[in-house]
Each structure stands twice: as structure tokens, then as C-alpha cells.
Structure 1
Amino acid sequence: MRHFVNLALVPFFLTLVVTGIMRFLLPFSLITTRVHIISGFAVLVLVGLHLISRMAYFKTVIQSAGNGSGNGRKNRVSQKTLIGVAGLWIILLTTSLWGLPPASQVIDTSYESRNRATIFRSDPQTVYKPVDDGMRLKRVTDSDASLLVQLDWSSSFLERYGQNRGPFSDSRPQIAIWAESETGTLIETLYLSETAAFSERFHWAGHQQRRVDILPIWRNRFTLTTGIAPDGEQAVFFSGATPEHSFSVHNYLKTDSNPFYLYVEINAPADPNDYFNSNREPDQPGYTKPGIGQPSVLYGAYIEPTEDKQYLLLDLVGHGGSNPSDGNIHYDLAPLTSARELVEKILVRVQHVEPDENNEEVQTGP
């Protein structure tokens, strides 16, 4: 048993170290995190078994250090060792809890600290779940107002991309879901695919891509949140530190609020056609980078809080075009082919609240 524990510790510990370094230096990955957690549990069990087998040793060391029995020189070394271990543990624990140097300096060099402005994480009150034929998302509020999005893939999409679900596949469609005001200002990003959520550049469809090339409409809106333009430069309308984006769709889920748009932008990988492809010259209309093909497609719905209608189907309203830097919605759908057939339907259910006479919000709708 002792040999098994000692030998098993080696691969699990190395896996834990490698995945820990990856989590520190690279964008978040669910696969890396999963392997790191499982390896951590395995190391925890193995270390526990190792400590149990060494209980007699620890008991002897603690007793000799405490009562001064045995060789004097060995006792002094044991006492110093115990004090050193306890002191190091207390120092590192204290610096970690309060964010003091050197812990704070180490954390500041991590990927997440260096790229916190452009990393996206959804609101804690947003829950989403991928299902076999699509995705379900729900954004709730403290006042019981909610926004439910049901996306169903088409049969042609499932035939083409359903097999690309392996853990290392980089051929999954990228999706952004957000709410936008009538003036075109981003209210809140509700969802962003994991691959695009943590990095401006990532490997997709066999090529290194930028977020703005894949989801150009959402990424240009996202500049308001980050203060950083899609090309990585500081946005002109921001100066100094990036402000915190405090807008929330919560404020729009009341019967006395302003109408807003709900958008879903989708881009499927390696989906060229005769018009949108990488064989054209970069300055020609229809040119898209290798691996992208047809541009992102945009579905939208206009939501009016004063309307009794609770269920809406999102319509295909446009696409991202072949020039992602402009961030405009291109309404000419004629050049699109298979990109128009990705989705069977996107259904939205809106549950509003309205203030009562005591200024408390009460639920409306089903």
C-alpha cells in the first residue's frame, strides 16, 4: 500500500501542478479546471493516506520537540523546524487573506488580473444549461421578474455540428446574448460562449481568431463595458481607469420601464459559401478570414414592458458582415445560405413586475 501511495502521488501531483500553472497563465478553461479539481481530490486522498502511515513519525517528532527528550541537538532542530513551518504557514495565509505582498504581486501577474477588463462573466442571477438540441437561459431578479431564452438548433445544424462535441473540439458555434436599449447602448450581456468569454484571441475552427471577427456586433457593443476597443486600444470616450459598468436588465423588467431589444448573435465555424469565403482578396466584399466563412447571424426581438404579450419569437434581422471592425448590423440577408438555417427557433418569455401602492414590486404575467 505504501508503494502504491508513493508512486500514485507522482502523476497526480504533476497533473495538479501543470493544470495549476495553466489556470494561472492561460484563459479559463472548463476542461483544465475539471482535470485540476479531480487531480486535487486524488492528491488529497493520497496525501491523507501517506500521513496516516507516518503518524508514528509525527508523534515522535512532536513529543521530542515538546518535552526535550532524546538528543539535544535533534530536539533543537525539531523545534526550529516546527516554528519555521508554522511561521511560514501563518505568513502566507495572512498575505493571501488580506491581499498583501507578496501574494498580491503574484496574483497581479496572472492572466485574469492582466485581462480583467475584457473577461466576461455573466451575472450570478443568470443561469444557463446546454441541452442536446440547443440551450436554455434564465435571468432572474430579486423582485421575481425574469427573462427566459430558449434556443433550439435546426436539424441541419445538428447533423453538421452535433458530432463536434468532444472535449478538445474547437469547432463549436459561438453565441452572444445581450439586452440593448433603443438607442443602441448595451444594457447587459447575458451570455457568452466559454471560448470567447475569457480571451480576445483564441483558437477556433483550426485558426487563431479574434472575438470581433466571430461576434462583431456584440464585441463592438461590449466596448462600453470594457473601455477597450476591439483592436485592443483604449476607447476614445474613456480616459483614465475603466469605469464599472453598472447597467442591468433588471431595471428594464418593470411595466413602467423603457422598451429594449434582446439580441442573439451566432457564428458557426468553417461555414463558407460562394459569396463569403477566404478565397477573395481581403479588400473585396465578402472576404472573411479562414475558418470563419459566412459571418455571424443576428436574431432580435423588441420587448415592450407595457405589452401583455409574454412570449416572443426572435427574428433573423441581419448579420455581422465581412468587415467586423464597424460593428454594424447588415440587413441584406441574400448573401447568406446555410447560416440562415442554424436555428429552428429562439423563444423568449418575459415576466415583468410593477410597483404597487406601497412602492413594492409585484409580479405580473403568468
Structure 2
Amino acid sequence: MTLRKIISLSIALSFLVLLVTGILSYFQVYSRTVATLHTVFGGLFVIGVVAHLNNNFRSLKLYGKFNLLLPITLVLGLLFFAAFYQLKPFKSMMDFGAKLKASSGKEVNLSEYLVLEMGQEKDIGITIDLLRSEHYWHPQMAVWTEDSEGNYLETIFVSKATARGLFFGGRSKENFRTFDEKKDAVGDYRRVNALPVWSHKRGVTYADGMYVPTNKNPLPDAITGETLIDNFKLLTSVKRSDSFVLKMEINVAFDDNEYYSEYDFPDDEVYHNGTGQLGQPSIIFEAPIDMNDGKKYYLMELVGHGHHSGQTGEIYSDLSTLTTAKQIVERIVVGVNPNKEQQQIASTNK
């Protein structure tokens, strides 16, 4: 009886911790402490449930005789399917939680993030807070601004491999981390399909007609950085503007699926150009920012994907052919902090 009491109390207390940490995770920004508590007590809860099932196995066998097992299994299966594939209303529920985090105004603990500070001398301070998801893995990334008409304004950040044309052929999932370090790596294969929306918006063509920088004409260090391999917070700034659209393009290599693989687009030579990095196209997020609306935080929305081989700068809104590419990012929150001069202008316009 004592063992049964211990198991029951452990399950109850574990459930209480899971309930509290689950609520905190839904309504508040990411916390490593909360996530750790949720994981640890989730494990204890599972152990307690297994012990409880073992102690009550005879009773459970009797319950199975009342024809309840099949309908319960079907209902739980449907709930699992809808949650796993982010169907409504679960997608709307998670989007609502993300928007609450974006509008809460609470600063995250920077010790839990990679922190990158660059180009903070301009008129409007910008913080970009990205929480990675399951398939975030060594992504190429570009962040830039456009006006309300879609005209390119300025680049804020570009991953170094793209900014300096450092890609080579012959990569694989196994040698990706070490291949570019080889002294004898040859064959300059710029990945024009990595960030095509940003590169076409920037509108700079090179000698071969491509829009991607070469290792002989790299972008300046002021806007380039190492590949951001974990949750990060980018502290930067943009030029003065009453309103603008912040955009981010992200691409992960080797994430091929049934729509984007070595067997697809056989006549597209660029897609099969030898880089060994075939996969799903880039994904694009955006956040329209109005300096006069009084908001300090904005949630970036996934609005589409780029061309599979980078032939155009068009954004394709149909995401039905993407799978793991939609699981690269959990959420991106943008913070806006105008300097005193910009704040005076905003107050005058009200």
C-alpha cells in the first residue's frame, strides 16, 4: 500500500509541475529553466504512469471488455494527428500563444541565446529573437528591409558562406562540418538556390549573371556573420523610416523530401549543379513595422518560399510541398527601439 501511495503522490505532483510549466511555456518567452523542469518531471510522470498501469493491470483488462478501447483510441489518434500536422484548431492555438509572447514586451534571458551585436549605430534599434525548432540545422540566412511597396532598402545580416561565396561541391550530410576546411577543396559552387529572394531583391549581378556574391567580391564584414547554429538574438539597427517591412530568408541544406530530391526537376541544371545539397527551398518570414503604432514587439509570419533553384526572386505562398522546412523555426520576435530623435518624430506625427 505504501508503494501505491508513493506512486500516486508522485504522479499527482509531477502532473502539477507539468501543468504549471506547460502554462508558462505557452504564455511566456522561452526559458531554459522552465523547459528543463517540464522535461524532467515529464519523465517522472511517465515512470509513475507505467508503475500505476502495472499495479492496476487487472482492472484495465476489465475496462477493455466494455468496447471503450476502440473509440478512445480513435479519438486520441485523431487528436495526435491534428496536433502533429498543425491542423486547426491546434495551429491557431499555437499561433495565438506566439503572438502573446511577441506582444508581452518581456526581455529574454540572453544567457540562453547566442547573442550577435552588429551595426547598432543607425536610427532605429532592432532586436531579432529567434527560437529554433526541430529541423533548424546550420541554416543560411539573410535579413533585410523593404519599403511598403516592396522596394529593397538595406541588408542587415547575411551568413558568411553566402556573403563570401564559400560553398564547394562534394558536400554530404556526413562531411558538411569539415568539408570546407579542407585545403584542397576545389570547385566554386555558389548556392544560388540558398537565398534567392534576398539576392534578387538586392539586385546585384556578377560577371556570370548570378545574383550571389563570389569569393572575389564578398559582402562587407559589417553585415556578415558566422552561421547561427542555435537560438539567437541579433542586436542591430536600421535607417530612419516611418514604416518598413523586415524580412528574413532561411535555408537548410540536405532537407530533401518527395517534392525536392535528386529525382525531381531533371531538366533544371542549376538545381543539380553538383553542390550535393539538394533540398527544400528557402522559407521567408516578414513583419510590417509601423513606427507610429506604439508597438515595441512584432511577430514575424511565414509568408512563403523561394524558387527551388534560385532562378527568380519570387515568393511562392503555397507551402503544401514543404515538410521539415516548416519546422525550422518555432517563432521569431522583432523588437523595435527608436532613438530619441526618432521618438520625437513619432510623437509629432500622432
Instruction: Report the TM-score when normalising by structure 2.
Output: 0.48
Instruction: Report the TM-score when normalising by structure 1.
Output: 0.47
